[in-house]
Structure 1
Amino acid sequence: MADKLTDEARDTKLGPLMTAGWAHDAERDALTKTFKFADFAEAFAFMTRVAIVADKMDHHPEWFNVYNRVEVTLTTHDANGLSDLDVSLATTMDGFA
């Protein structure tokens, strides 16, 4: 089970993600971001690359796709909020995008 991020970890790890366009949903203690691509094929390719990594991590995003847009929510349900798994997957997603 992953541990929820401490206040100190949030200060250091979430800042770069916020700068990269992620938002914090305080109600769910989750990270959210909308990725936009040229078309459906690019959006689906992004989701496929992320799915492979997420499955290896055993940490799966909540996401929604319409045409060229992928809306993502990351939170660790077992930790009741954000964990290092969310930070790692968000960073990976930004790299793929």
Structure 2
Amino acid sequence: MSDLAKENCIPCRGGVPPLPREEAEALLRELAGWRLNADATQIARDFKFPDFATTLAFIVHIGATAEGAGHHPDIAFGWGYATIALHTHAIGGLQRADFVLAAKIDALPLAKSAG
């Protein structure tokens, strides 16, 4: 488990700049399977599952984790797949909380079995 997963998400209310690309890339190295978009404003990861029921169970766990953290991802999912994208809506970019939530998602039991 990443040390990031042990941190609490600190909600961003706006008024702060997004992380510079260099900081985002450094935090990304602490996560497996996540990618940074071209303009360094979002991270995302694809997860694969054997069926729809497992995918849905994973999404439900992400929802509970995100709600508990007060930080909410964009989620696309269907039969056997889920794509999770994170950024801080209030600033249109990335903050440390995005990487913390990504690590918390990675720590979920179903994430460990995802391809």
TM interval, shorter chain, is 0.7 to 0.9
Which segments of 5 or more consecutive residues in structure 2 lack a partner in the other structure?
A: 1-10
Tell me, in whole angstroms, the C-alpha distance in 2 between the residues paired with 1:7 and 1:36. 28
Query: Structure 1 segments of 4 or more deviating over 3 A?
Result: 6-9
TM-score by length of 2: 0.72
Letter in 2 for 1:88: V
How large is the Cα RMSD of the aligned pairs? 1.9
2:82 matched residue in structure 1 = 70
TM-fit CA distance, 1:72: 1.3
TM-score by length of 1: 0.84
Tell me, in whole angstroms, the C-alpha distance in 1 between the residues paired with 2:61 and 2:46. 16
* Equivalent pairs, count: 95
Matched, 1:14 2:35: no
TM-fit CA distance, 1:27: 3.2
Aligned-pair identity in percent equals 32
What SS class does the counterpart of residue 93 from structure 1 fall into?
A: helix
Which segments of 5 or more consecutive residues in structure 1 lack a partner in the other structure?
A: none
Matched, 1:61 2:73: yes
TM-fit CA distance, 1:8: 5.9
1:34 matched residue in structure 2 = 46
TM-fit CA distance, 1:6: 4.6
The structure richer in helix per residue is: 1
TM-fit CA distance, 1:38: 1.6
